[in-house]
Structure 1
Amino acid sequence: MKLNDTIVALATPSGAGAIAIIRVSGPEAISIVSPVFKAKSGKKLEDQPSHTLHLGNVIDAERIIDEVLVSVFRAPKSYTGEETIEISCHGSPYIQQEIIQLMIRKGCRSAEAGEFTLRAFLNGKMDLSQAEAVADLISSENQASHQMAMQQMRGGFSNEIQRLRQELLDFASLIELELDFAEEDVEFANRNQFKELIARIQQVLKRLIDSFATGNVLKNGIPVAIVGEPNVGKSTLLNSLLNEERAIVSEIAGTTRDTIEDEMAIGGVGFRFIDTAGIRETQDVVESIGIKRTFEKISQAQVVVFLLNAEKFKELSSEFKIEIEKIKNKFPQKPLLIIANKTDRIEETERERLIQELEIISENNERSQFLLLSAKTGSGVEELKDKLLDFVNTGELRNNNTIVTNSRHYNALLQSLEEINKVQDGLNSNLSGDLLAIDIRQALYHFGEITGEITNDDLLGNIFANFCIGK
């Protein structure tokens, strides 16, 4: 990839639409576009100031390709920091390709995936964590993932890391200075203040590392496993939540042989619902495999929804309690929501007795709650959505706290904390400045990996390979 070329790509999704935007960026962007653009005003494009719009025609020799609107962005006041032209044309795939091919014949090169954002990073328009947030923002499908990506793209995460890195760097400079005066046995870095800084850095790093558990599930959708015996209405509940016939519903027990997954947003947070095979003893080989996968999905889920048939609760209550205890004991940290389904088929007296029984089952476990509903009629489904939101810790999101969502950042934070812990051990052991400096340099290195102050071609290649063409 030659980063001093002028590149061109479609910046909007491919296919037909009302309009499409073609982006041209690089040192020759304006001089390449200018000869093939005839403005209605008669003005030459190369004479126009930055951040101006111009109506005219794109022409190939004497042939008019399209009437377009051209945006001029002069370096460094552009997305990439380079000379940039954006051509808004009609959304015909034929027109799009005609203009792109014309630009290539005039001296442009087709952009690689993520090359515009890579150039923005290399030209100092954003740091690496902000560049990665661009991809997250494009792929965000709900309010929570959008909010986290915007917070990171605005620099919330990188600013916090840079502040810590700068404070650590200041102390590192003083310790390095001490090495130059080793024979005089002087201390320029106040060790007590340094211990306070290290303790504060540890606290921030631990908070950011802990936030990854929340951030990762919010970014990818919170997995919710819907489990229970066969024919209790798991598939009906999934269909009711999604408001569509996503899963096959039948009176025949064991209809669902494999897991079915689908996503929806509740209160701006993405949830990934997993309809599982009914749990029961069976000789059916295929159904047995489905039941095995059910327990695998429970282990992967953040929330477990356990359904029971309200009509048959009396005859199944002892077996049901055993299954509930199995899940509680095997997954003690998972929120468990016990749902009595088909309550539209029972009398009020049975309903009251059912509530009493479920209260007893739930009261010994603070992470367990219960709910009565009818998946068939939709009664109680909205209350279920509210309870699912209550299970999710979105306090950090509401308070605009920094939440880590990127596994690369998470690993770099873990490595940074490991080195900071070594620095703390060294301070407690009155280690010499030259040995302290080694661990400090390593911590600074891992901080720099996050923001991109320290990079290599392989790292950049891996990150930007996941971007779409045109971004």
Structure 2
Amino acid sequence: MINQDTIVALATPSGAGAIAVIRLSGKNAISISEKQFKSISGKILSNQATHTIHLGHIIDGDRTIDEVLLSIFKNPNSYTGEDVIEISCHGSNYIQQEIIQLFLRNGCRMATAGEFTLRAFLNGKLDLSQAEAVADLISSDNEASHQIAMQQMRGGFSSEISKLRGELLNFASLIELELDFAEEDVEFADRTQFKELIERIILVLKRLIDSFAVGNVIKNGIPVAIVGEPNVGKSTLLNALLNEDRAIVSDIAGTTRDTIEDEISIGGIGFRFIDTAGIRDTKDVVESIGIKKTFEKIDQAQVVVYLFEADVILNDGDKLQKLKVEIEKIKNKYPLKPLIVIANKIDMLSEKAIAELKNEISDVELLSAKTNFGVDTLQNKLLGFVNTGALRNNDTIITNTRHYDSLLKALEEVEKVKLGLGSGLSGDLLAIDIRQALYYFGEITGEITNDDLLGNIFANFCIGK
């Protein structure tokens, strides 16, 4: 599957910076580096202990390229399980490329996307789910997604799956053994204990599958559509939530012609807010396209925030009735989608008017996007829609679609085993379903894999990782 040659790549983001890290991995990483590195104290790299750092220069013949710190990680105690060299050089683009080109001319090959982590997997340093968590950790942009990725990279999910697989494999072996003594009609696998194991496996699988709904939104951010008529303060609310002037605000109705999106973290959870064009009847072609997109974004959103102008609604009975009709339309069309109805610009209302508003619309939230009143309450309400109990309890949460698919298939096979046990199915037929369940468990951790699967997974990694 993998070449045994020595690979090199930039491990830090491309571009100029204070420092850059260039990584080598392979059986000749130390010997190749030894020829291009001149220690300040005259040390020979191959004689140095693992996990040590050395000051010196990268040289190309008589030419000195840069003064660097070189770190040695000897196999098997390295990230990839091979000899690894990491060179910390100055972050000039020129220096980075000169060093990489030097090693390419002297026996190294440019690493492909994710090849360092792929080697770690193939050398048994990580299982497949842990390797995938490395990519999730790199891309995490809020506390919750970071926490999930760290838990999975440390083996929280894979250890749970491996334990279940091991227990199921033990019973599978006993049932397979029974097949060898079929004529003697003996049972090596205690059917009562086996039923208990199957019930426990089903409970764990269902819990993990159910966690995907939470995990997926935590990983990708929860889309929240801010909708309402023109000039009710949608863009002002978005700016208040983001704490910056992201959307253009004016007194002219229909200023927002297209959807504007941005993401913030609330309580460690990512929320992707979508400021939409105001909903109204219009002959403006461009604005009409924006309004059409508004309805598309409502379809895509997981939470809808419906904003209206408090003082205008109270002073116009027709608009109040129209608002109630619009709210009911959204509730009826999306009965399972959380809807937050917000009265904006309440700083312009008296206490009596606010009481009247609450009487007309019982579940209304009060807000002044201009003064930031009610913004914290809105954030807490949004956070309340996310089940973060599993995070607080440090339970395993599934965020990977591939894992979710394998868990669903494993559950289907395990339930077939349960049905077979209940109906007294013969051992040879039980064994078929057990083997298939074991196959899907193995797919998750990489105990069962193929080149196409690995290619698809690691192609999404960055070069140098």
What is aligned with 1:463? 457
| 191-200 or 27-36, which deviates more | 191-200
How far the C-alpha of 1:81 sits from its partner, in A, is 0.3
- SS at 1:32 equivalent: helix
Alignment of 1:324-343 (within 5 A): 324-343=327-346
**Residue from 412, 415, 421 that aligns with 2:406:** 412
C-alpha distance in structure 2 between counterparts of 1:56 and 1:323, whole Å: 71
Q: Percent identity?
A: 74
Q: Work out whether 1:358 is the aligned partner of 2:361.
A: yes
Q: Work out whether 1:96 is the aligned partner of 2:90.
A: no
Q: Which runs of 5+ in 1 are unaligned?
A: 363-369
Alignment of 1:9-158 (within 5 A): 9-158=9-158
What is aligned with 2:241? 241
C-alpha distance in structure 1 between counterparts of 2:70 and 2:438, whole Å: 44
C-alpha distance in structure 2 between counterparts of 1:296 and 1:153, whole Å: 36
Q: Deviations along 1:2-58, whole A, 9 cap, x unmatched?
A: 520100001001111111111010000000000211111211011001001111111
Q: Work out whether 1:261 is the aligned partner of 2:261.
A: yes
- SS at 2:263 equivalent: strand
C-alpha distance in structure 2 between counterparts of 1:280 and 1:403, whole Å: 42
State the TM-score, normalizing by the size of structure 1. 0.96
C-alpha distance in structure 2 between counterparts of 1:245 and 1:299, whole Å: 26
How far the C-alpha of 1:283 sits from its partner, in A, is 4.2
How far the C-alpha of 1:346 sits from its partner, in A, is 1.7
Q: Work out whether 1:433 is the aligned partner of 2:438.
A: no
Q: Deviations along 1:185-216, whole A, 9 cap, x unmatched?
A: 11111112111111111111111111111101
Cα contact 1:57–1:68 (8 A) shared by 2? yes
AA at the equivalent of 2:275: D
| 139-148 or 258-267, which deviates more | 258-267
What is aligned with 2:351? 348
Aligned-residue Cα RMSD (Å) equals 1.3
State the TM-score, normalizing by the size of structure 2. 0.97
How far the C-alpha of 1:338 sits from its partner, in A, is 1.2
C-alpha distance in structure 1 between counterparts of 2:302 and 2:154, whole Å: 29
- SS at 2:361 equivalent: helix
Cα contact 1:227–1:234 (8 A) shared by 2? yes
**Residue from 388, 403, 417 that aligns with 1:394:** 388
C-alpha distance in structure 1 between counterparts of 2:440 and 2:169, whole Å: 13
AA at the equivalent of 2:341: I
Cα contact 1:340–1:371 (8 A) shared by 2? yes
**Residue from 378, 383, 407 that aligns with 2:377:** 383
- SS at 2:226 equivalent: strand
How far the C-alpha of 1:348 sits from its partner, in A, is 2.1
What is aligned with 1:287? 287
Q: Deviations along 1:263-316, whole A, 9 cap, x unmatched?
A: 111121111001112223344444344333323222222211111110122222
After TM superposition, which residue ranges in structure 1, 4 or more long, deviate above 6 angstroms? none
Q: Which runs of 5+ in 2 are unaligned?
A: none
What is aligned with 1:366? none
AA at the equivalent of 2:421: L
What is aligned with 1:300? 300
AA at the equivalent of 2:353: E
Aligned length: 462
Alignment of 1:166-181 (within 5 A): 166-181=166-181
